């Protein structure tokens, strides 16, 4: 075999190997690309647009009960967690003078003690509101002054949520809200926006507004000071056709999807969209539930809410 012929054979073998490598690479690339493409059908579901933030459980109106006189607590009739009505007697106390007189009479016998207890009555401490006892800070026998809070009442426990000034315009009184306690993450509580502060506060150089959210059915586990995550429902569409937001393509003002027709060909279909929660999007017209829509690089997992929250920068979803 001549040298030139041998070189030609080597060259041909090299070209054959290179061609095989290129064909294999293209096939692999095509296979990997197809793995990222899914064909799905539109789903009839809900689209919920929410504003998320954090908050804390606290009394909407916190009332400290302080005695009108200085003296000694004789009896406490209320305990933490008790529900009380306006006019209920919460405690009995003796003024400083009565306490001294009763102590002196006690040393002189039961007859003298009974006489002075009847003549010099104890002073009642009365609840001024309907509410719940959340703090009991004294016990019988303890000496108090008019500046000491012996009990603390709450008319009701609410969620005090903080909304950034860029999102407060999306929050309205009466809107539905979802409340999740950090200490009980699996428990979701429904609530309603009850009050929006008229004055802002500066927290960590961020302008925020406090919003009161009232739970519809406050559970027994509610405690003042608990941290919560709140989602206020800005808009909600139920029973609408939805597809993943990643399936929608945009060309200037045009919106369309890529889909498979009845013959299996890939075609474009113009659509009109509505509300979007950034994960799924409402289809107003252009698609039916039986259409085959092509989605690239996205899983179609309809969900109402995501995890994660920034305390002072609520996320709009």
Q: What pLDDT is stored for residue 2 in this prediction?
A: 53
Report d(CA 259, CA 293) in Å as an integer.
Answer: 4
Q: What pLDDT is stored for residue 31 in this prediction?
A: 43
In contact, 162 and 53? CB cutoff 8 Å: yes
Mean pLDDT of 18-47: 62
Is 194 a residue whose pLDDT tops 90?
A: yes
Question: For residues 301 and 284, which has the higher predicted lDDT (pLDDT)?
Answer: 284
Least confident interval from 9-23, 63-77, 92-106, 172-186: 9-23
% the chain with pLDDT above 90: 64
Q: Looking at the DSSP assignment, which residues form a beta bridge with residue 54?
A: 229
Residue 291: which residues within 8 A CB-CB, separation 6 or more?
Answer: 41, 42, 259, 269
Q: Give me the domains of the chain, ranges plus CATH numbers.
A: 38-47+238-296 (2.40.420.20), 51-59+156-236+311-316 (2.40.30.170), 65-154 (2.40.50.100)
Is 271 a residue whose pLDDT tops 90?
A: yes
Report d(CA 263, CA 160) in Å as an integer.
Answer: 57
Is 306 a residue whose pLDDT tops 80?
A: no
Q: What pLDDT is stored for residue 221 in this prediction?
A: 86
Q: What pLDDT is stored for residue 224 in this prediction?
A: 87
Is 282 a residue whose pLDDT tops 70?
A: yes
Q: What pLDDT is stored for residue 5 in this prediction?
A: 54
Q: Tell me: the pLDDT tens digits for 114-161?
A: 999 999 999 999 999 999 999 999 999 999 999 999 999 988 889 999
The model's pTM: 0.61
Q: Tell me: the pLDDT tens digits for 224-260?
A: 899 999 999 999 999 999 999 989 999 988 999 999 9
Q: What pLDDT is stored for residue 303 in this prediction?
A: 38
Confidence of residue 296 (pLDDT cuts 50, 70, 90): confident
Q: What pLDDT is stored for residue 188 in this prediction?
A: 87
Report d(CA 198, CA 208) in Å as an integer.
Answer: 11
Q: What pLDDT is stored for residue 29 in this prediction?
A: 42
Report d(CA 188, CA 65) in Å as an integer.
Answer: 33
| Structural Rg of the chain based on CA atoms | 36
In contact, 103 and 120? CB cutoff 8 Å: no
Q: Tell me: the pLDDT tens digits for 63-111?
A: 999 999 999 999 999 999 899 999 999 999 999 999 999 999 999 999 9
Q: What pLDDT is stored for residue 253 in this prediction?
A: 87
Average pLDDT, the chain: 84
Q: What pLDDT is stored for residue 316 in this prediction?
A: 43
Least confident interval from 24-33, 200-209, 254-263: 24-33
Question: For residues 19 and 69, which has the higher predicted lDDT (pLDDT)?
Answer: 69
């Amino acid at each position: 075999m001549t040298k030139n012929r041998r070189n030609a054979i080597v060259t041909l073998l090299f070209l054959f190997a290179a061609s095989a490598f290129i064909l294999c690479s293209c096939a692999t690339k095509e296979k990997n690309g197809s793995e990222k493409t899914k064909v799905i059908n539109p789903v009839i579901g809900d689209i919920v647009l929410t504003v998320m933030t954090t908050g804390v459980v606290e009394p909407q109106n916190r009332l400290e009960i302080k005695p009108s006189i200085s003296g000694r607590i004789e009896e406490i009739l209320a305990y933490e967690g008790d529900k009380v009505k306006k006019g209920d007697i919460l405690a009995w106390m003796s003024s400083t003078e009565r306490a001294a007189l009763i102590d002196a009479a006690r040393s002189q016998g039961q007859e003298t003690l009974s006489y002075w207890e009847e003549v010099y009555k104890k002073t009642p401490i009365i609840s001024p509101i309907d509410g719940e006892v959340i703090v009991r800070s004294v016990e019988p026998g303890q000496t108090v002054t008019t500046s000491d809070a012996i009990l603390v009442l709450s008319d009701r426990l609410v969620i005090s949520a903080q909304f950034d000034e860029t999102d407060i315009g999306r929050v309205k009184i009466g809107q539905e809200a979802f409340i999740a306690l950090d200490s009980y993450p699996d428990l979701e509580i429904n609530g309603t926006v009850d009050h929006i502060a008229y004055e802002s506060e500066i927290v960590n150089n961020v302008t925020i507004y406090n919003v009161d959210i009232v739970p519809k059915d406050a559970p027994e586990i509610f405690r003042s000071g608990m941290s919560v995550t709140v989602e206020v429902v800005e808009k909600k569409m139920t029973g609408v056709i939805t597809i993943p937001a990643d399936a929608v393509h945009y060309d200037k003002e045009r919106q369309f999807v890529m889909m498979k027709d009845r013959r299996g060909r890939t075609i474009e279909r113009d659509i009109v969209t509505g509300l979007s929660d950034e994960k799924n999007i409402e289809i107003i017209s252009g698609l039916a539930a039986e259409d085959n829509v092509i989605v690239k690089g996205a899983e179609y997992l309809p969900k109402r809410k995501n995890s994660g929250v920034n305390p002072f920068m609520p996320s709009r979803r």
